[in-house]
C-alpha cells in the first residue's frame, strides 16, 4: 500500500493547472459520485466511489471506476434500503485508504464533475487529509451550479422548471428525459450525472460558455444550504 502511495505522490501534491482559455470540447473529465452511510461528516463515511470518464461530451464506457469500500461506520438501516448494499457485502471490501489511492490514480489530472459535489468532496477530502495530508487538487465542477446558472441565464424551458426542491439529481434529469436506473449506486449515478453534463454542454454553448475558465467559474461547487440537507433529499446516502 505504501509502495502504491509513492507512485501517487504526485497525484496527491500536484496542483492541477488548467488553461482557462482552452475550449472544453476535448477536455478530459471524471464524472463521479460517492455513496455514504449518512450525511454527518463527522460520524458517517464513504460506502462506494463510482466514476466515468468523459472526453468533451463523449462518455467512455470502457474506462469507468467503481469500488465498494469497507466503511468505518456501520451502515444505517435507512441507507441500506436506498443503496441495496448490505453490511456483509462491504465487509469483505478494501478499506477507504486503498480505494482512494486507486481513485486518485484513475482521476489523474482530469477535471472532476459531480452533482452537488461539495458533499462528496467533504467526505473525500476528510479521508484525503487523514491519509495523505492533502485535499483533492483536481479542479472540480458541479452540474447543479451549471444548471442553476443556465436556468437564470437562458430563456425558460422544460429542463429548468424542476419541481420545488429541484436540487436532486433525479429531479433535474427528469427535465432532460434522461433514463434513470432504479437502484441508487455510485457508478449509475455518476453515469446519470455524466449524461446530465452531456445535455448541459449544448446549453452552455448557447449561453456563450466555451472556455474551461468560464466552465470552472460557472461550475464552482454549489454550497447549498443546511435546510436542504435533510435525510432523503440527496442520493449520496
Partner 1 sequence: MGSERNLIIDDTVAFLKKVPPFLSLDDINLQSVARHLFVEFHPKGTIILKQNDAPGDSLRIIKKGSVKVSVISPEDGSEVVIDYRGEGDSFDFLSLMSRDSLRANITTMEDTICYVLGINPLLQLLSTHNSFTEYFLKSHITKYVDRVVREMQDKSTFHSGSDRLLFTTRIGDIANKKVISVPEDTTIQAAARIMANKRISSVIIMDQDNRPQGIVTDRDLREKVVAKDPRVKDSVKSIMNFPLIIVDAQDYCFEIILKMIKHNIHHILVSKDGELAGVITNHDFIMLQGTSPLSLTKDIENQQTIDGLIPVSKKINGIVGTLLKEGARASNIIKIITEINDHLVRKVLLLAEKKLGRPPSPYCWLVLGSEGRREQTFKTDQDNALVYADPATESEAEAQNEYFSAFSEIVRDGLIQCGFPPCPANAMASNPRWRQPVRRWKKYFADWIDNPTQDAVINAVTFFDFRPMYGDFHLAESLRDHLNALLKDKKVFLGHLANMAIRNPPPIGFLKSFVVEKDGEHKDQLNIKIKGLAPLVDIVRLFALEKGVRETSTIGRIEAMRNLHTMVTENADALEHAFEIIMLLRIHHQFEQIISGQEADNFIYPNRLSNLEKRSLKEAFHLVTMMQNLIIERYKALIW
Interacting residues toward partner 1 by CB under 8 A = 48, 50, 52, 57-62, 64-68, 102, 105-106, 177, 179, 181, 183, 185, 187-188, 191, 194-195, 198-199, 201-202
Could you give the 3-state DSSP secondary structure of residue 23?
A: strand
3-state helix, strand, coil in the chain (%, to 5): 45, 15, 40
Q: Closer CB to partner 1, residue 89 or residue 214? A: 89
What count of Cα atoms within 13 Å lies in the side-chain half-sphere of residue 182? 2
- Residue 183 has which C-alpha cell? 437502484
CB of 26 vs partner 1, minimal distance in Å: 14
Cβ(35)–Cβ(83) below 8 Å: yes
Q: Closer CB to partner 1, residue 66 or residue 73? A: 66
Q: Which residues of 133-149 are buried (b: 16+ CB within 10 A; e: fewer)?
A: eeebebbbbbbbbbbbb
CB of 69 vs partner 1, minimal distance in Å: 11
Q: Closer CB to partner 1, residue 62 or residue 164? A: 62
Sign of dihedral through CA atoms 137, 108, 18, 146? negative
CB of 52 vs partner 1, minimal distance in Å: 7
Determine the Cα–Cα distance for residues 126 and 115; give it in Å rounded to an integer.
19
Q: How many CB atoms lie within 10 A of CB 118?
A: 17
CB of 67 vs partner 1, minimal distance in Å: 4
Q: Where are the beta strands (DSSP E) in the chain?
A: 28-36, 46-55, 58-68, 111-114, 140-142
CB of 188 vs partner 1, minimal distance in Å: 4
- Residue 217 has which C-alpha cell? 467559474
CB of 55 vs partner 1, minimal distance in Å: 9
Q: Closer CB to partner 1, residue 90 or residue 221? A: 90
Could you give the 3-state DSSP secondary structure of residue 93?
A: coil
Q: Closer CB to partner 1, residue 54 or residue 221? A: 54
Q: Closer CB to partner 1, residue 202 or residue 232? A: 202
CB of 180 vs partner 1, minimal distance in Å: 10
Determine the Cα–Cα distance for residues 44 and 71; give it in Å rounded to an integer.
9
Q: Closer CB to partner 1, residue 121 or residue 200? A: 200
Amino acid at each position: 500500500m505504501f509502495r502504491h502511495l509513492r507512485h501517487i505522490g504526485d497525484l496527491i501534491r500536484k496542483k492541477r493547472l488548467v488553461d482557462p482559455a482552452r475550449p472544453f470540447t476535448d477536455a478530459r473529465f471524471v464524472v463521479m459520485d460517492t455513496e455514504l452511510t449518512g450525511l454527518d461528516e463527522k460520524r458517517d463515511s464513504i460506502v462506494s466511489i463510482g466514476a466515468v470518464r468523459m472526453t468533451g461530451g463523449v462518455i467512455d464506457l470502457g474506462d469507468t471506476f467503481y469500488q465498494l469500500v469497507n466503511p468505518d461506520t456501520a451502515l444505517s438501516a435507512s441507507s441500506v434500503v436506498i443503496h441495496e448494499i448490505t453490511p456483509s457485502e462491504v465487509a469483505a471490501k478494501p478499506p477507504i485508504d486503498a480505494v482512494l489511492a486507486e481513485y486518485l490514480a484513475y482521476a489523474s489530472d482530469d477535471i472532476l464533475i459531480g452533482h452537488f459535489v461539495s458533499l462528496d468532496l467533504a467526505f473525500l477530502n476528510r479521508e484525503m487529509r487523514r491519509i495523505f495530508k492533502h485535499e483533492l487538487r483536481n479542479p472540480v465542477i458541479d452540474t447543479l451550479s451549471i444548471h442553476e446558472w443556465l436556468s437564470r441565464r437562458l430563456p425558460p424551458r422544460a429542463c429548468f422548471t424542476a419541481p420545488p426542491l429541484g436540487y436532486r439529481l433525479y429531479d433535474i434529469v427528469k427535465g432532460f428525459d434522461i433514463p434513470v436506473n432504479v437502484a441508487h449506486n455510485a457508478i449509475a449515478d455518476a453515469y446519470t450525472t455524466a449524461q446530465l453534463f452531456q445535455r448541459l454542454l449544448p446549453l452552455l454553448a448557447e449561453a456563450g460558455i466555451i472556455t474551461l475558465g468560464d466552465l470552472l467559474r460557472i461550475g464552482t461547487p454549489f454550497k447549498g444550504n443546511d435546510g436542504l440537507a435533510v435525510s432523503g433529499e440527496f442520493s449520496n446516502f
